């Protein structure tokens, strides 16, 4: 038995960035309840990258909430639109991806999305089903539904136009193709991040032009990455991947800025809103320590994607490395070369697999990221006596270790 519409509304709008128009969602839920017809909640996915992170999971988690309330999650794999690439937030035209690249990414995406969504109850469609079959007359009908002036209202398009940077015509087509997806699947609601607001609103207009009720636009906040500045992205190296090892997830979450703790708890965990509010008050008033709440956050996230046992082990490993400053028991071993000659530090790092090359090894040393038994080594020209290395632990960064034998 699913909650009544008023309760559903309260649950769904909690932590949403925008619902446009807000006043339409309540009546839509009421009609769904009265007609015993679940809402069709669409999320479009262009599989331009194979790996998902906590930023992606913010929208997926809300889509799962719709599923848990009895509605249908409609995942659109952009095997056609993905060849163009979503221009949202881009300062230049994106390179085209091949169909093979997109399909390989899509397989990985769906596997990882299944960590959040109930894929057995999701409807998965590929938009080549309808977009690939459009003829020129169909395309002309679609493009006649929107004006260039309206397209230039998009911040990224208008900025590029002012800067004299090229905008290809196919990029103008992208929001129209995404909107046509909503027509094809008869979406009641379309979800996305706040960077997708323009595209989702185009979907409302195009549905009306094709004689359908206009979808409600539902956006979720963009999650800042671990640097606390830019949105989470693999290209910014500030991401926490859904399938990363538990200890990696735990360590990265322990590194976030204190001011992000509450936001991460709210958007990335299953804690109740009242619990998050308690943490927020405690941090603000000083009764709760940020470090302990980061631990709670890290445990909650690791448990979501790897289970409670893995969360406990990840915390223990973190304490081994950073509280007790010990090397992990499962650190790999590296056998030192025979002979009595001193060993160059750069050569040792490269041969032990802790650096991709000797130039990479030099960079790591110069940046202060190399230690022997916890003692920093800062001279890339250093040559170390073999007897002084045997039995020691060579460390690069915070999580990479090798025992020297």
Provide φ and ψ at 75, rounded to 5°: -90, 120
For residue 89, pLDDT over 60 is answered with no
Band of the pLDDT at 374, cuts 50, 70, 90?
A: low
Find out if CATH 3.20.10.10 is the number for domain 5-220.
Answer: no
Domain extents in the chain: 5-220, 244-322, 333-404
Distance, in Å, from the CA atom of 14 to the CA atom of 171, rounded to the nearest integer, reads 33
Lowest mean pLDDT among 176-185, 288-297, 318-327: 318-327
DSSP 196: G
Query: What one-character-per-residue DSSP string does 107-152 give?
Result: HHHHHHHTTTS-GGG-EEEETHHHHTT--HHHHHHHHTTS-HHHHT
For residues 343 and 89, the model is more confident at 343
For residue 45, give the 3-state DSSP assignment. strand
The token pair that represents 277 in the structure block: 């509010």
Q: Give the count of beta carbons closer than 10 Å to the beta carbon of residue 99.
A: 12
C-alpha torsion sign, points 242, 245, 251, 254: positive
* Domain at 333-404, CATH class: alpha beta
For residue 75, pLDDT over 90 is answered with yes
Sequence length of the chain is 405
Superfamily of domain 244-322: Tyrosyl-Transfer RNA Synthetase (1.10.240.10)
In percent, the amount of the chain with pLDDT more than 90 equals 60
Band of the pLDDT at 385, cuts 50, 70, 90?
A: confident
CA nearest neighbour of 283 among 265, 301, 269, 267: 265
Query: Is the CB of residue 62 less than 8 Å from the CB of residue 191?
Result: yes
| End-to-end CA gap in the chain | 63
Question: Mean pLDDT throughout 366-395?
Answer: 81
Question: Mean pLDDT throughout 97-101?
Answer: 81
CA nearest neighbour of 239 among 330, 7, 249, 247: 249
Please list the alpha-helical segments (H only) found in 120-268: 128-131, 136-143, 148-151, 155-162, 169-185, 197-209, 246-254, 261-268
Q: In sequence order, what are the beta bridge partners of 220?
A: 193
Band of the pLDDT at 234, cuts 50, 70, 90?
A: confident
Question: Mean pLDDT throughout 152-178?
Answer: 89
Query: Is the CB of residue 238 less than 8 Å from the CB of residue 226?
Result: yes
**Angle at CA of residue 26, ends 22 and 32, nearest 5°:** 135
CB under 8 Å to 329, separation ≥6 — which residues? Answer: none
For residue 372, pLDDT over 50 is answered with yes
For residue 197, pLDDT over 50 is answered with yes
CB under 8 Å to 136, separation ≥6 — which residues? Answer: none
For residue 5, give the 3-state DSSP assignment. helix
Beta-strand relationship, 189-193 and 383-384:
unpaired
For residues 138 and 379, the model is more confident at 138
């Amino acid at each position: 038995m699913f909650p009544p519409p008023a309760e559903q509304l309260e649950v769904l709008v909690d932590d949403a960035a925008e619902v446009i128009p807000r006043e339409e969602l309540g009546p839509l839920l009421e009609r769904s309840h009265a007609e015993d017809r679940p809402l069709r909640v669409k999320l479009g996915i262009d599989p331009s990258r194979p790996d998902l992170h906590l930023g992606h999971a913010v929208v997926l988690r809300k889509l799962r909430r719709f599923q848990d309330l009895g509605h249908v999650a409609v995942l659109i794999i952009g095997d056609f639109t993905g060849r163009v690439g979503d221009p949202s937030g881009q300062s230049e035209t994106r390179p085209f991806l091949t169909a093979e690249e997109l399909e390989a990414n899509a397989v990985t995406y769906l596997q990882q999305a299944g960590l959040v969504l109930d894929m057995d109850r999701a409807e998965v469609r590929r938009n080549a089903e309808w977009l690939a079959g459009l003829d020129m007359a169909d395309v002309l009908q679609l493009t006649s539904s929107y004006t260039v002036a309206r397209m230039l209202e998009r911040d990224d398009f208008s900025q590029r136009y002012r800067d004299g940077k090229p905008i290809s015509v196919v990029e103008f087509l992208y929001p129209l193709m995404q909107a046509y997806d909503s027509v094809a699947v008869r979406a009641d609601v379309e979800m996305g991040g706040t960077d997708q607001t323009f595209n989702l609103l185009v979907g409302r207009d195009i549905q009306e032009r094709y004689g359908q009720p206009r979808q409600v636009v539902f956006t979720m906040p963009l999650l800042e990455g671990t640097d606390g500045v830019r949105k989470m992205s693999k290209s910014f190296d500030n991401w926490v991947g859904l399938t990363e090892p538990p200890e990696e997830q735990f360590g990265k979450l322990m590194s976030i800025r204190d001011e992000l703790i509450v936001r991460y708890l709210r958007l990335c965990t299953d804690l109740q809103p009242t619990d998050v509010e308690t943490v927020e008050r405690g941090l603000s008033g000083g009764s709760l320590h940020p470090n302990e709440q980061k631990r709670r956050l890290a445990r909650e996230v690791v448990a979501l994607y790897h289970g409670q046992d893995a969360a406990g082990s990840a915390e223990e490993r973190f304490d081994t490395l950073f509280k007790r400053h010990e090397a992990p028991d499962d650190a790999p071993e590296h056998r030192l070369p025979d002979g009595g000659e001193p060993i160059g530090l750069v050569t040792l790092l490269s041969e032990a697999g802790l650096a991709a090359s000797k130039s990479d090894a030099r960079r790591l040393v110069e940046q202060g990221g190399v230690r022997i038994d916890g003692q920093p080594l800062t001279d890339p020209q250093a040559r170390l006596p073999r007897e002084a290395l045997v039995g020691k632990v060579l460390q690069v960064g915070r999580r990479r270790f090798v025992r020297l034998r």
